Amino acid sequence: MTVKVEIVRRLGEPSVLLPSLLAEALNANDRVKLRMTMLQEAASAAAGRSSRSFETERRAVGLSDAQFDHFITGARAVGAERLAIPGVNALLAGALDDIAAMLAPIEAVEPETAKSMQGRLRALEAGLGKSRDDILDRAEISRLTSARKGSEDSLHLLVMDAHKAINRIAVATAVELIDGAHAHHLEPADKARVAAFMRGLNRTAALAFGHPGLATTACRVGARLTIQNDIGATEAHVLVIHVEEMAVAVTYTDVHAIRADFFCSLFRNWKIEWSALAERAAEGLGKEDAFYLVTGSYSAASQEELDAFLEFLGSRIVFLIDWNKGRKALQIFVGKKAAIDILTWAADNDLGHRAFLELGGADLVFEAVRHVAAGCIPYGARLDEALGDEDSVDFLRHVLKEASGGLQAGRSARLIRDQVQADLAQRFESAESAVLTIVERHLGLSRTLASAIWSALAHRASVAERASLVRRSKLIEEKADRLTLAAREACLRLRDSAELRLLIDEIENATDLFDEAAFLVGLLPEVELEPALVDQLAALAEIAMLCAGELIRAVTATARLPEGKRSDAAFALQAIDAVGELERSADAAQRSALAAFVGRGGADARILVVGVEIARAIESATDRLAHAAHALRNRVLKELSA
């Protein structure tokens, strides 16, 4: 309070005007930024890349003069680097007046600062000269609108510096604090609106986790209440809110078009009308020279609805701080669109991304990968390529949730990192269960095929029934192929998957052989088959069916091993051993079938050839199942020794 009193003492009579000067300075800031945006768009229009008039935005800030109606649509190139823009002289003259209005409160409180800025303004004005016929160089537009620090001065840089000084003065000379907002001579109704805005802001402000920003000032000029928030430490990143009766006008500026889009998307459940956003720098201007402005209009039906909107608006600001850093950190792992979706989810759930960044951002995830999944992810591969899109997004959501909740609860950074690593480890462990689940479904199809072959032989299927078996077998084999691809893809998430890949390959081979056997059954001639021959093939098919069933039981038990059940390991090994015994039985059954077919010297040669091939295909399928069982046995033993 002492500083405020000293400032008021120094002000003397001009201090009476300070609230109005500040309010007009904020309005002038809105106007001059729109003027610069219109300049950028005019350059794009001259290249045939824009045709917007900014009518809504101009009306919102008081630039409704008809001379600007064709400012952008009428722009044209008059040579390689020169543009004819109708009304550009008037627009630039207005920009200089706006900046002068911004300097007025600074001159009243910080005369030395104002003197320096006025000198910069005079130098910039002299550099502009007076263009004839409203013609301007592209380079001059760049010099006017550039927001780059460290290069030559520009109107935009001067505006940002003046705005920063205005914010400083507004805080120092505030008449009162309203829940943290520095307020200047507000009416009772204004105070209620500011309080609503601050309820939202204060509810989520802790999610900034110490990052500077969120300072709010409020003042009234005429019939309009103006609320401003500085959103972090970036000069060009500003939110200005005008409230007049039941209407709210939002003016938002940003150097990142993608973040401005994100900000607008947060209000998708509110009936707010946003102006279109220029998503690129003007033609001929570098990206670093661009900044973006968007305006929103909201009309409330009641005082309660108005306050609810202002509260929600205030609560969203914290999610813009360091947003671009958060997006870049996340998109390393899942890509740009998914990263933005994660940030949107984090904002919708009042979690945010600042805690994630405080704990290292991308390094937090890299550390987890190094500790628990280094062998699962090939060098240079993204997380979503190894873990899958859905699981990767879910994991990163969990990271943001753990980071935010952990820091708010006072948990140590080490504990939060351990929890993140534990979650990732569990996801990769569950990936093995996912592989085995797919394998189990695949084996179910193999067993179904073996059962269908056995049924066709044991029940002396008719020609039509055997033809149906062939068609059904083809559909099952195609479905099994899709499961094979899914299982191989799921294996990519595992740090050690050699045995599982062999398991998948051998089961696929077995299914192919069963499909071949079904096809051969369909080729058996229509003549009456000797029961002794058919019974031999049916017995072999039954053994194959049992073999597939035992392997299913082994896979089911193996999938439960991460739960620590030793009895499941014993059951899996017993089932695997049963597969080996059945494979040996299949060898003997094949020999018996071959002997039976060869012993029937007078039999139809077609029956002999097809019968021998059916026996070979079925027995080969059991060989493949035995190989798969051996691979699974190695996996079980490795799990037991881990």
Q: DSSP of 248-282, one letter per residue?
A: EEEEEEES-HHHHHHHHHTTTTS--EEPP---SPP
Helical residues (DSSP H) of 492-530, grouped into ranges? 498-523
Helix (H/G/I), strand (E/B), else coil: 381 = coil
Q: What is the pLDDT of residue 108?
A: 83
Averaged pLDDT for residues 195-201: 97
* Calpha distance 220→75 (Å, rounded): 37
Q: Judge contact between 346 and 353, C-beta under 8 A.
A: yes
* Res. 355: pLDDT tops 90: yes
Could you say which DSSP state residue 379 is in?
T
* Calpha distance 231→238 (Å, rounded): 6
Residue given tokens 């109708």 in the structure block: 86
Q: How confident is the model at residue 298 (pLDDT cuts 50, 70, 90)?
A: very high
Residue 344: CB atoms within 10 Å: 15
Whole-prediction pTM: 0.62
Q: Which of 13-22, 261-270, 349-358, 509-518 has the lowest mean pLDDT?
A: 13-22
Q: Judge contact between 483 and 445, C-beta under 8 A.
A: yes
Per-residue model confidence as pLDDT tens digits over 434-449:
888 899 999 999 999 9
CATH class of 426-641: mainly alpha
Q: How confident is the model at residue 234 (pLDDT cuts 50, 70, 90)?
A: low
Q: What are phi and psi of 176, to 5 degrees?
A: -155, 165
Starting from the edge strand earliest in sequence, which strands make up the sheet with 238-244, in order?
176-178, 181-184, 216-221, 224-229, 238-244, 247-254, 292-299, 273-274
* Res. 116: pLDDT tops 80: yes
Count how many residues are written for the chain: 642
Per-residue model confidence as pLDDT tens digits over 377-423:
655 567 877 677 888 899 999 999 999 999 999 999 999 999 999 88
Q: What share of the chain is helix, strand, coil (3-state, %, to 5)?
A: 70, 10, 25
Per-residue model confidence as pLDDT tens digits over 72-86:
888 888 887 888 998
Q: What is the pLDDT of residue 334?
A: 92
Q: What is the pLDDT of residue 173?
A: 82
Q: Judge contact between 614 and 521, C-beta under 8 A.
A: yes
Q: What is the pLDDT of residue 383?
A: 82
Residue 249: CB atoms within 10 Å: 21
* Calpha distance 94→228 (Å, rounded): 23
Percentage of the chain exceeding pLDDT 90:
48
Q: Judge contact between 83 and 136, C-beta under 8 A.
A: yes
Per-residue model confidence as pLDDT tens digits over 363-373:
999 998 888 76
* Calpha distance 580→234 (Å, rounded): 70
Q: Judge contact between 374 and 424, C-beta under 8 A.
A: no
Q: How confident is the model at residue 285 (pLDDT cuts 50, 70, 90)?
A: very low
Q: What is the pLDDT of residue 8?
A: 36
* Calpha distance 355→26 (Å, rounded): 32
Helical residues (DSSP H) of 209-335, grouped into ranges? 257-265, 303-316, 323-334
Percentage of the chain exceeding pLDDT 70:
88
* Calpha distance 176→219 (Å, rounded): 11
* Calpha distance 137→140 (Å, rounded): 5
Spacing of C-alpha 411 from chain mean position: 27
Q: What is the pLDDT of residue 528?
A: 65
* Res. 55: pLDDT tops 90: no
Written as one letter, the residue type at 477 is: E
Q: What is the pLDDT of residue 280?
A: 40
* Res. 431: pLDDT tops 80: no
The two three-digit tokens of residue 207, written as one number: 């999610």
Domain ranges in the chain are: 2-320, 323-406, 426-641
Q: How confident is the model at residue 13 (pLDDT cuts 50, 70, 90)?
A: very low
CA distances from 302 to 245, 306, 308, 309, 504 (A): 10, 6, 10, 11, 64
Q: What is the pLDDT of residue 58?
A: 82
Sign of CA dihedral 51, 55, 56, 58: positive
* Calpha distance 447→540 (Å, rounded): 13
* Res. 585: pLDDT tops 90: yes
The two three-digit tokens of residue 7, written as one number: 């400032």
CA-only gyration radius of the chain, Å: 37
Q: Judge contact between 4 and 172, C-beta under 8 A.
A: yes
